Amino acid sequence: MGEEDLGRVRAAAPGVEVVATTTPGRDLLARADAWAGHLDPDDLALAGRLRWNHLWTAGADADLSPRSLAAEDVVLTTSAGNGAVPLAEHALMLMLVLDRDLPRWLDAQRAHTWERRRHPELAGQTVGIVGMGAAGRDLALKCAAFHMRVLGLRSRPDRPADGVERMYGPGDLAAMAAECDYLVLAAPLTEETRGMVDADVLAVMRPTARVVNISRGEVVDDAALLEAVTSGRIAGAGLDAHAVEPLPEDSPWWDVPGVVVTPHNAATTPQTLARAVDIFVDNVARWAQGRPLVNVVDKRSGYAP
């Protein structure tokens, strides 16, 4: 955070000591009432006064799993929603790139070859969005604007979302996937979503269908997806999230035809960072005034509802 942003934080909580650091020292951890940023379990053990931990990430999966019972009274908040717009844009980009086979045009350009061909259009195709958080909802509107048929899946299927024709519940993933030309994964990583797109789900998808992942790699059974794509069971995939990151140099994903790989880069925009700061400054003011915080993580579900 720059000095201007730190000034905003200090102004939001007059009288509160605000310390910016890149290394959480023992003394600072011991006297911190609130902390913004990731804390390792060893750091957490030193933070005896800690009552609030804010994460710069939208997801809490990396911070919930190692936490001990001693940290249960620490309120955990996230920056959920800060990357919704670029995540939705990235998913749409991957869909367009795959649908039009953009790599083929780029190869032709490098070869100075004028290669005209017939190609599909997204209009009229069906997209199923798994996870209707901020990114999923924004993507639904964008896909609807592209004249696509939009299906959604969320933990509470009784809650509608703009642009979504039909909402499914977690137990209906295979039923929704069977209808999709594109299955887009925008769900948080939790024990319930880990590996949810497995061989059984992929088996019911159309041979022309594709999977797009903008959430976490572990939401997909990586081996099952690789087999489905390489065998022609489905047509391809657009992957911004991967089971192992950085993606190893010897990973087969780099060279699979019909697959576009990006390096978990979808939401890496200046606006994403700015929105994260806005969320934190708002929460600092709420914390200083004793008001309810936003983006509080439900530790049972593993994400901020």
| Percentage above 90 pLDDT, the chain | 87
pLDDT for 34: 96
Query: What pLDDT band is residue 21 in, cutting at 50, 70 and 90?
Result: very high
Average pLDDT over residues 163-183: 98
> Is 218 designated active site?
no
Query: What pLDDT band is residue 69 in, cutting at 50, 70 and 90?
Result: very low
pLDDT for 104: 97
8, 100, 206, 264: which one is catalytic? 264
90, 137, 154, 216: which one is catalytic? 216
Residue among 102, 106, 108, 137 nearest 120 (CA): 102
Map out the domains of the chain with their CATH numbers: 3-81+269-289 (3.40.50.720), 84-261 (3.40.50.720)
Read off the pTM: 0.93
CB 304 within 8 A of CB 295: yes
CA angle 171, 177, 178 (to 5 degrees): 110
> Is 89 designated active site?
no
> Is 216 designated active site?
yes
pLDDT for 152: 98
Pairing of strands 126-130, 182-185: parallel
